[in-house]
């Protein structure tokens, strides 16, 4: 079963067209004013409405608990993500073995589209997207007052009650929005990250829910400079040409932005909320 948990008309049809191999597709919609619901229904998906009450559970965990999925194993996707053909084949081969040896979740790498190009190198995002809904759940962290993200879980992974596996194939993050929307989203995300730096307990708790790679990135000093070197040089981002350079620089500037906003909050020049 697939649950799509993002109100985003652009790209939704492209995603849904690639999900014919799955038994059930559910789109969790939170009051979108575009054609999200219409597009979902046109492609045979079931639509479930979500209205956030300002408390936990947030959107993805709510979907795991309340979307009415007929299967325990759920693949969580944003509306601009879809499983690559190789991932569809890998999932089919795993179908009877899901949960073997007590495995309760699987991490999956993303192939990222940025500035009109699919990136083959550089920094790779990993998401814990395939879950046994009875043995994995998103944590409830102290970020309800933090700005920037609100109804959707932040940059942390679901907790698994058992071993976590890793799939070889990838999810395609097919972001076809203009680059300006990427910057707008990450401007909001950096508000959330900066706020958390004022709450060491919450930041430590969230850091513990990230992947090992995420924990390292959270802890290193001089992150903007070191991250650019890691993504563009160590991870061969330069082989993706200008798009690889732009993506590495954009993420580096995102980390720089978090630091600038945090220092501003420390000086008391803006309200933390």
For residue range 119-161, list pLDDT tens digits in order.
999 999 999 999 999 999 999 988 898 898 889 998 889 999 9
Digit-coded pLDDT (tens) for 182-200: 999 999 999 998 988 887 7
**What pLDDT is stored for residue 95 in this prediction?**
79
pLDDT above 70 (res 104): yes
Give residue 215's pLDDT band: very low, low, confident or very high (50, 70, 90): low
pLDDT at 9: 62
- Identify whether 272 is part of a domain: no
Inside any domain, residue 197: yes
Any idea how long the chain is?
273
Range of the domain at 262: 2-266
Q: What are 216-244's pLDDT values in tens digits?
A: 666 677 899 999 999 999 999 999 999 99
Distance (Å, rounded) from C-alpha 20 to C-alpha 83? 11
pLDDT at 201: 73
Does residue 34 belong to any structural domain of this protein?
A: yes
> Is the pLDDT confidence value at 8 over 70?
no
In this structure, what are the phi and psi dihedrals at residue 115, rounded to the nearest 5 degrees? 55, 40
CATH of residue 88's domain is 3.90.550
Asked, for residue 156, whether it belongs to a domain, the answer is: yes
pLDDT, one tens digit per residue, over 32-76 is 888 889 999 999 999 999 999 999 999 999 999 999 999 999 999
What is the 3-class SS of the chain, one letter each residue?
A: CEEECCCCCCCHHHHHCCCCCCCCEEEEECCCCCCHHHHHHHCCCEEEECCCCCCCCCHHHHHHHHCCCCCCEEEEECCCEEECHHHHHHHHHHHHHCCHHHCCEEEEEEEEEECCEECCCCCCCEEEEEEECCCEECCCCCCCCCCCCCCCCCCCCCEECCCEEECCCCEEECCCCCHHHHHHHHHHHHHHHHHHCCCHHHHHHHHHCCCHHHHHHHHCCCHHHHHHHHHHHHCCHHHHHHHHHHHHHHHHHHHHHHHHHHHHHHCCCCCCC
Asked if residue 72 has a cis previous peptide bond (ω within 30° of 0), the answer is: no
Instruction: Decide if 98 is inside a domain.
Output: yes
Does 36 reside within a domain?
A: yes
The confidence score (pLDDT) of residue 63 equals 95
CA distance 225 to 216: 15
- pLDDT of 271: 58
pLDDT in tens, 72-98: 999 999 989 999 999 999 999 987 888
Query: Is residue 271 in a domain?
Result: no
Q: Is 199 part of any domain?
A: yes
CB of 99 within 8 A of CB of 132? yes
How many domains does the chain divide into? 1
Q: Calculate helix-pair angle for 200-208, 179-196, nearest 10 degrees.
A: 120
């Amino acid at each position: 079963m697939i649950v799509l948990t993002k109100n985003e008309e652009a790209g939704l049809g492209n995603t849904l067209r690639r999900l014919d191999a799955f038994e059930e597709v559910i789109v969790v919609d939170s009051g979108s004013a575009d054609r999200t619901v219409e597009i979902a229904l046109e492609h045979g998906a079931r639509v479930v409405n979500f209205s956030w009450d300002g408390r936990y559970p947030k959107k993805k965990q709510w979907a795991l608990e309340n979307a009415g999925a007929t299967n325990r194993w759920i693949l969580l996707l944003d509306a601009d993500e879809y499983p690559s053909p190789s991932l569809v084949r890998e999932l089919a081969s795993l179908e009877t073995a899901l949960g073997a040896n007590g495995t309760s979740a699987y991490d999956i790498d993303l192939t990222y589209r940025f500035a009109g190009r699919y990136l083959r190198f550089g920094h790779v995002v990993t998401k814990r997207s395939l879950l046994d809904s009875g043995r994995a759940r998103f944590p409830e962290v102290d970020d309800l007052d933090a700005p920037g993200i609100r109804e959707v879980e932040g940059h942390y992974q679901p907790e698994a009650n058992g071993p976590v596996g890793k799939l070889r194939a990838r999810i395609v993050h097919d972001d076809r929005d203009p680059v300006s929307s990427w910057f707008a989203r990450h401007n909001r995300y950096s508000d959330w990250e900066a706020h958390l730096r004022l709450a060491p307990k919450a930041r430590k708790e969230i850091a513990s829910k990230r992947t090992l790679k995420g924990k390292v990135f959270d802890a290193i000093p001089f992150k903007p400079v070191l991250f650019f070197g890691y993504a563009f040089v160590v991870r061969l981002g330069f082989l993706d040409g200008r798009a690889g350079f732009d993506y590495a620089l954009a993420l580096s500037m995102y980390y720089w932005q978090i630091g600038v906003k945090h220092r501003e909050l420390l000086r008391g020049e803006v309200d933390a909320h």
